[in-house]
């Protein structure tokens, strides 16, 4: 992807593998292009594949967490980042939504933090715990999923030492910290 990103027409900003894309525009635009291509008699295989992979990615992160942490029932799992992207409180089609749903189905105790989007996510998930900081969310956590590329998450370091088990599934490729034996990208 680094090589593809060198092409100025494409750029490197949104080519990292990870949690997938969300928001109100890009998913809708890709779906619309797929429908329009079908109506024009073109089989939009690549667009369908993009949408399918995007829907799978959050579930793959939870599966990876479960593989590393074992049964998630009763475990405290920190979810860092609730907005679909940083610098917004917009949770429309956020990749954190299917992650939280999966964690709830598996019986995990979800503790979520986002610098701006907590109140909006609380409308969707009123029963989960919302922390006032990443530090608070990580304290005593058995695992952590990083879902939004907030710059402050990229600077987390010692806060991971507050976790009971240092299992960090990094869905946005922003962490520079390498101290957890379970860190996954």
Residues noted as catalytic: 25
Please say whether the beta carbons of 160 and 166 come within 8 A.
yes
Q: Cα angle vertex 139, ends 138, 142, to 5°? A: 70
User: What single DSSP character describes residue 76?
Assistant: E
Q: Kindly tell me the number of DSSP H helices and DSSP E strands found in the chain.
A: 7, 5
Both structure tokens of 139: 């304290």
Using CA atoms, how far apart are residues 180 and 169, in angstroms rounded to an integer?
A: 10
- Encoding tokens for residue 105? 């189905």
Angle, CA of 114, 119 and 126, to the nearest 5°:
105
3-class DSSP string for 105-119: HCCCEEEEECCCCHH
């Amino acid at each position: 992807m680094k090589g593809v990103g060198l092409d100025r027409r494409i750029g490197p900003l949104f080519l990292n593998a990870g949690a997938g894309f969300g928001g109100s525009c890009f998913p809708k635009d890709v779906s619309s292009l797929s429908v329009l291509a079908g109506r024009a008699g073109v089989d939009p295989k690549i667009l369908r594949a993009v949408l399918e992979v995007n829907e799978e990615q959050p579930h793959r992160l939870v599966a990876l967490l479960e593989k590393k942490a074992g049964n998630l029932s009763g475990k405290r799992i920190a979810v860092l980042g609730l907005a679909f992207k940083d610098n917004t409180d917009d949770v429309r089609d956020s990749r954190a939504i299917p992650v939280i749903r999966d964690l709830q189905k598996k019986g995990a105790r979800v503790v979520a933090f986002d610098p701006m989007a907590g109140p909006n996510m609380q409308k969707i998930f009123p029963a989960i715990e919302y922390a006032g900081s990443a530090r608070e969310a990580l304290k005593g956590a058995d695992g952590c999923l990083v879902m939004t590329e907030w710059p402050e998450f990229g600077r987390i370091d010692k806060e991971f030492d507050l976790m009971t088990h240092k299992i960090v599934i990094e869905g946005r490729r922003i962490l520079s910290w390498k101290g957890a034996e379970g860190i996954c990208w």
